Amino acid sequence: MAIGIISTLLAKSETILSSDHSSIVSMNICVALLCACIVIGHLLEESRWMNESITALAIGICTGIVILLTSGWKSSHILVFSEDLFFIYLLPPIIFNAGFQVKKKQFFRNFMTIMLFGAIGTLISFAIISAGAIHFFQKMNIGTLTIGDFLAIGSIFSATDSVCTLQVLNQDETPLLYSLVFGEGVVNDATSVVLFNAIQNFDLSNINSAICLQFVGNFLYLFISSTLLGVLTGLLSAYIIKKLYFGRHSTDREVALMILMAYLSYMLAELLDLSGILTVFFCGIVMSHYTWHNVTESSRVTTKHTFATLSFVAETFIFLYVGMDALDIEKWSVISDSPGTSVGVSSILLGLILVGRAAFVFPLSFISNLTKKNPNEKIHFKQQVTIWWAGLMRGAVSMALAYNQFTNSGHTQLRGNAMMITSTITVVLFSTVVFGLMTKPLVRILLPSPKHLSRMISSEPSTPKSFIVPLLGNGNETEGGDQSNRNVTRPTSLRMLLSTPSHTVHYYWRKFDDAFMRPVFGGRGFVPFVPGSPTDQNGHQWN
Amino acid sequence: MAIGIISTLLAKSETILSSDHSSIVSMNICVALLCACIVIGHLLEESRWMNESITALAIGICTGIVILLTSGWKSSHILVFSEDLFFIYLLPPIIFNAGFQVKKKQFFRNFMTIMLFGAIGTLISFAIISAGAIHFFQKMNIGTLTIGDFLAIGSIFSATDSVCTLQVLNQDETPLLYSLVFGEGVVNDATSVVLFNAIQNFDLSNINSAICLQFVGNFLYLFISSTLLGVLTGLLSAYIIKKLYFGRHSTDREVALMILMAYLSYMLAELLDLSGILTVFFCGIVMSHYTWHNVTESSRVTTKHTFATLSFVAETFIFLYVGMDALDIEKWSVISDSPGTSVGVSSILLGLILVGRAAFVFPLSFISNLTKKNPNEKIHFKQQVTIWWAGLMRGAVSMALAYNQFTNSGHTQLRGNAMMITSTITVVLFSTVVFGLMTKPLVRILLPSPKHLSRMISSEPSTPKSFIVPLLGNGNETEGGDQSNRNVTRPTSLRMLLSTPSHTVHYYWRKFDDAFMRPVFGGRGFVPFVPGSPTDQNGHQWN
């Protein structure tokens, strides 16, 4: 029955493929599958092992099989994987929402550790995976791969899947881990993409210290200018909305302006060849800190849920698509004569990912612990294992980069290239499903009392995530509420700055924020107080 | 300064046009212009004459001039007008939101009048414009046009701009007029598109009564099946959300499912060659009547504003684009040798539109008034003039159909075709700007006491537009509250049905709704009551 319908649809899609409506059939299937993912993901919510990504992957693979059967082993997907689709439409809402919902205090307190992991760690991982690939693959019969290809493999498999991580770790249960792993993921995305572009553009035949220095300079320039662009766009949106006071006339204008300006920040970064991921992430942070407090209550509820919904749909679509793409018959047929080699390559890559990540998580955690005095802020061994494990998943960024490097607009006939594409698909599927399935139980075993942990390490209450708190607790604005914050009241000497740098920076930032930024750009405590805000809790009152 | 930046951007766009990022520059400009439209539209809100459409049109024309100057008179737009973009992405959210926010009681009470205006009226208008075009244009030197072209002109210029109408009339001030003009607009859109497709597909050389009958049958089939599809999709979404109770876990899932299923209804209709406009309109009505009451409070606020925002952005984009497209140098240069003819053609078309609309509004209003007993429900002469005037604007549907008929993917060199495209642009611009500017003052002069009017003709309080009322007034579900409803309590005889058919239908529908539909699909009064809902009023409390 279902096969009959899809068969008819496919037949129809062939007849109208020449017309303007060629995409309608694909879009129908995609939208229907997205609905199915939401409903089935909801039904499996209570399951101990499954998460939404794995559900979407499974549905994608099943759909791929059905399409493959009905189309007579010709094609398994209805849309060609497009980097544009991914980088221009799907990734921005996910990363923006992550910045919008992230617990800002946690994130900035661990800023140095996150940078260490995200930038230095990714470089270590890249070096190990590239070296390993050169060492192992040159002995195997997998077609011609240049030195550029090997370095590209290093950067492709250094890109962790921050999307998947977000679904596995819980911000409220393990805030330190969440902020570390997720923050690392964002910086890692940026580093990998920068690395990848550098490898494609730089002349790799003569690498010397000048080029390395140029590369480091390039990275620093990218990081700083991308961040600044995001912050400036966010502040501009806050200023416009505060000055013009849109809510007076229409909530819809506020919501539209926030969405459009967030997207504009990403597109501007892409236009200026910066890292859109970093830009839109910091734009999200600034918007949740200033802009979000300047809009009406309706706009707050709407933006919070709209951003989350967009992100959710984009994530589901990515996993659905990766699942459908896994059965890409064109690439599998090229390497079908040597299944052993294919399994070998995938296993080696998985091993290199495991080793490459271990090689920076444990040493860098040790270094990070040296700078912390407070034992609560140190990263314990069990937490290190969790960080190592939670970042092993590879996802859509790896897929997009692999398609860019090894195919010509989605197609390849070269044996080596096809091998790398299928290996990437295998690694992505295996790491997402197997590592992903095991992460939830692992976190439960390694960190048995997350409630206790979250109480020790204070969480930022002013994020949109729990926006009833800032409104009710408006009177005691400078509450702090956590031990570590009390330690740093009134640091008067340089010694203090050196011993607890991030706390001191945070203290002065807060003074600056209260004295200058919030009066100009708005923000919590600088907009009129409206009593009796319900909204978020209602979800639990319905039975 | 600004010209310099755009010049750089264009130079950049040319260099990267061959790469994957060709669209990034265009997208940056579009998003930035959309932001500008929102901000400037907000600043001009208080203006007596301007509305958002005209602002967007003006910004579009200015941008077109700047691009034209910087590109050296080569091109005035950055995106080629695409029917797919318009019909697949921009139109569905606008029409869906219209259905979602429409005052349902008003709409269904005037259903027969709306159908009369939308279907019969459009046919009359089509006949007059086609006949006029044949009569006048064959004498003028405007290149070769076939009989199919003339009939296409009739259907192109019969398509009123429901988007623009929505912005000019106010649902709360003039509910009867709004529901008539807007309802007519939706049916009119469907009729025009059906007519246009019929003209392109049917064999026009031998028109006989059998083909006419076939055409009428085709139209009825389209209307009924499109409506049914929309209603069924809406009911399915209500049933799924009621049964699975998404809000328990996540508001985002509910919002995502509502958006996706609404879009799915449109795409399914397009897939089945039905009228997506009608489908998504009725899907919106059903979703606001059932689905919207089954979701959490957060989801209600979010969906209400998200749909409105999407619709608002799509509308703004359409007008922005029509403005930019107005200076399409390629078509203007083809007809530049005969400016007099061009002005003549445009004037004749505008005249035909005026006459064609007058020819059905006044007679059909007379017929409609014959069926009404209650003088409050009759359409007075001043209201007829307003209906006639408010539907004179032509917009994006006309543009899209004209591009489809007279160009080959946006380009044409034929003199007759270029003449028709530029005339369409002129008519759209002139009618939107001049007629649009004059509508607000006209409504104020013709209908001086809208407050009084709106009190006479009761408005439906249960739409999302004012969703605090249904929650607070939950106890007296069967309130009615309007005079006309009290008249029809317990109609027991067939005579009653014949004298006040729509009221009786409404009464039985309500009984059926309470007894069967709402218990199954949810809806107001059939979901748990949550006290203390703020949300909508808050917008006015902030000063």
DSSP A223-279: HHHHHHHHHHHHHHHHHHHHHHTGGGT-HHHHHHHHHHHHHHHHHHHHHTTS-HHHH
Distance from CA of A304 to the nearest CA of B (A): 9
Q: What is the reported pLDDT for B231?
A: 94
What residues of chain B lie within 8 A of the CB of A534, using their CB?
Answer: 297, 530, 532-534
A116-149 pLDDT tens trace: 898 889 989 999 999 999 888 887 777 777 888 8
Measured distance CA(B149)–CA(B416) in Å, rounded: 10
* pLDDT at site A168: 67
- Read off the pLDDT band of B215 (50, 70, 90): confident
Closest CA to A58 of A438, A437, A439: A437
Contacts of A472 in chain B (CB under 8 A): none
Mean pLDDT of B380-408: 84
Q: Tens of pLDDT along B76-105? A: 666 666 777 788 888 889 889 888 887 777
Q: Which residue has the higher pLDDT, A280 or B6?
A: A280
Residue B460 has pLDDT above 50, yes or no: no
How close B511 comes to chain A (CA, Å)? 27
Torsion of CA B481, B483, B486, B491, to 10 degrees: -140
pTM listed for this prediction: 0.79
Q: Is B33 exposed, middle or buried (0-12, 13-18, 19+ CB in 10 A)?
A: buried
Nearest CA in chain A to B265: A28
CB contacts, 8 Å: B539 with chain A = 247-248, 251, 296-298
Task: Chain A: give the shortest CA distance to residue B38, in Å.
Answer: 7
Structure token digits, residue B441 = 């003052």
Query: Measured between CB atoms, which of B12, B88, B542 is closest to A247?
Result: B542
Q: What is the structure's pLDDT at A284?
A: 93
* Range scoring the smallest mean pLDDT among A43-57, B305-319, B459-473: B459-473
Average pLDDT across chain B, whole number: 76
ipTM score here? Answer: 0.78
Residue B321 lies in a domain: yes
Residue B537 has pLDDT above 50, yes or no: no
* Residues in chain B within 8 Å Cβ distance of A267: 24, 27-28, 31
3-class SS at B172? Answer: coil
**pLDDT interval class at A400 (50, 70, 90):** confident
User: What is the token pair recorded at A122?
Assistant: 């990714």
Q: What is the pLDDT of residue B12?
A: 39
AA identity, residue B366: F
CB contact under 8 A, B268 and A313: no
Is A469 domain-assigned? no
pLDDT higher at A127 or B73: A127
Residues B135 and B145: beta-carbon distance below 8 Å: no
**Each residue of B271-288: pLDDT tens digit?**
888 888 889 989 999 999
Q: Looking at per-residue confidence, does B165 or B196 come out higher?
A: B196
Interface test with A, best of B84, B250, B294, B405 (most A CBs within 10 A): B250
Chain B's closest residue to A30, CA to CA, is: B264
* Number of domains chain A contains: 1
Give the rounded distance of the alpha carbon of A304 from its chain centre: 18
d(CA A409, CA A353): 27
Test the B interface: residue of A250, A279, A294, A307 with most B CBs within 10 Å:
A250
Q: How confident is the model at residue A215 (pLDDT cuts 50, 70, 90)?
A: confident
Residue B533 lies in a domain: no
Residue B455 has pLDDT above 60, yes or no: no
Cβ contacts below 8 Å, chain A against chain B, sum to 200
Q: Residues A427, A105: contact at Cβ < 8 Å?
A: no
- What's the full length of chain B, in residues? 543
Contact assignment for A298 to B539 by CB distance below 8 Å: yes
Best of B301, B311, B404 to mutate (most A CBs within 10 Å, chain A): B301
> Residue B353 belongs to what H/E stretch?
helix B339-371
Residue B369 tokens, joined: 């008034």
Give percent above pLDDT 70 in chain B: 75
State how far the Cα of B461 lies from the Cα of B104, in Å rounded to an integer.
9
Asked whether residue A224 is domain-assigned, the answer is: yes
CATH code of A286's domain: 1.20.1530
CB contact under 8 A, A271 and B83: no
Residue A40: inside a domain, yes or no?
A: no
- pLDDT grade, residue B535 (50/70/90)? very low
Mean pLDDT value of segment B360-382: 84
Least confident span in A244-248, A362-366, B24-28, B386-390: A244-248
**Among B523, B521, B489, which Cα is nearest to B506's?**
B489
Mean pLDDT, all residues of chain A: 76
Domain that holds residue B287: 83-453
Residue B394 near residue B161 (C-beta atoms within 8 A) = yes
- Asked if residues B233 and B265 have their Cβ atoms less than 8 Å apart, the reply is yes
